[in-house]
Amino acid sequence: MSNDPTVGEHPSADEYPLDGVPRWPAADIAASWRRELPGIRPEALEAIEIITPMWRIAKLLADERRRTLARLGVAPATLDLLSSIRRAGPPYELTTREITRRTLVTAGAVSQRVALAERAGLVTRAPSSASRRAVSVRLTQSGHALIESTVRQLLDHEADLIATLTPADRAALTPMLATLEHSLASSLG
């Protein structure tokens, strides 16, 4: 048993910056490292309190998206392919190279995704008018209907998932996340 009176104790609510909000376990992790590694940079402890919840949130959201897509009967890879083409606008057609760039997956993965979607009647492939070697992928009527229905349901569900955030919270969080994502993509990507 430890003689340290702080072991097992939690800071009071006013010591944690989110008044009235349940404490994140990350605060406990940071407090433990503050105690166990005296002299650690304060920024390193702040990183724990930012990155740990983000990692946990990402995991929860990824798991929920998989469950939701399974319920809707759409594979995540199919959603990625069809939504990339649909977001391109009329005529709802992209080359495989454009799809690779927009989905951030390999050309081989795009080829497999396109082949599966083509067999399911969701897309058609044809030589591209842009280049002799390029292949264009176009949404079929079935693909268009599927992606529209799926995205509407998915976005409605995901809006419900963040409903606890006020409009002001969302407005503040959105640019902060964009800044962090851009910074990480530039330095790690």
pLDDT digits (tens, 9 = 90+) for 106-132: 999 999 999 999 999 999 999 877 777
> Model-level pTM?
0.75
The one-letter amino acid code at 34 reads: R
pLDDT digits (tens, 9 = 90+) for 156-173: 999 999 999 999 999 999
Distance CA 99, CA 105 (A): 9
pLDDT band at residue 17 under the 50/70/90 scheme: very low
Distance CA 173, CA 185 (A): 18
Contacts 24+ apart (CB under 8 A), 25-30: 25/52, 26/50, 26/52, 26/53
Check whether residue 88 and residue 21 sit in a common domain: no
Check whether residue 122 and residue 139 sit in a common domain: yes
Check whether residue 102 and residue 165 sit in a common domain: yes
- Does 32 have pLDDT greater than 80? yes
Q: At what angle do helices 25-36 and 42-72 cross, to 10 degrees?
A: 150
Check whether residue 107 and residue 185 sit in a common domain: yes
Last residue of a domain, one of 72, 97, 127: 72
- The range of the structural domain enclosing residue 45 comes to 1-72
Check whether residue 5 and residue 80 sit in a common domain: no
Check whether residue 98 and residue 171 sit in a common domain: yes
pLDDT digits (tens, 9 = 90+) for 37-92: 999 999 999 999 899 989 999 999 999 999 999 999 999 999 999 999 999 999 99
Check whether residue 107 and residue 171 sit in a common domain: yes
Check whether residue 78 and residue 58 sit in a common domain: no
Total domains present in the chain: 2
